[in-house]
A and B are shown apart, each in its own frame.
Chain A
Amino acid sequence: DAGVTQSPTHLIKTRGQHVTLRCSPISGHKSVSWYQQVLGQGPQFIFQYYEKEERGRGNFPDRFSARQFPNYSSELNVNALLLGDSALYLCASSLSAGGNHNEQFFGPGTRLTVL
Chain B
Amino acid sequence: AQSVTQPDIHITVSEGASLELRCNYSYGATPYLFWYVQSPGQGLQLLLKYFSGDTLVQGIKGFEAEFKRSQSSFNLRKPSVHWSDAAEYFCAVPSGSARQLTFGSGTQLTVLP
Beta-carbon contacts of A79-99 to B below 8 Å, as 1s and 0s?
000000000001010000111
Additional A-B contacts beyond A45-B100, A90-B44 (11; CB < 8 A) = A42-B92, A42-B105, A48-B98, A48-B100, A56-B100, A92-B44, A100-B32, A100-B51, A100-B99, A103-B49, A104-B101
- Interface size band for A: 20 to 34
- Given known contacts A101-B51, A108-B43, is B96 in contact with A56 (CB within 8 Å)? yes
The reply to whether B104 and A42 form a contact with Cβ atoms under 8 Å apart is yes
Q: How near does chain A come to B40, taking the closest CB pair, in angstroms?
A: 11
Cα of A104 to Cα of B43 in the assembled complex, Å? 12
Total contacting residues, chain B, CB less than 8 A: 24
Cα of A55 to Cα of B94 in the assembled complex, Å? 14
Residues of A within 8 A of B41 (CB): 108
Residue of A nearest to B106 (CB): A42
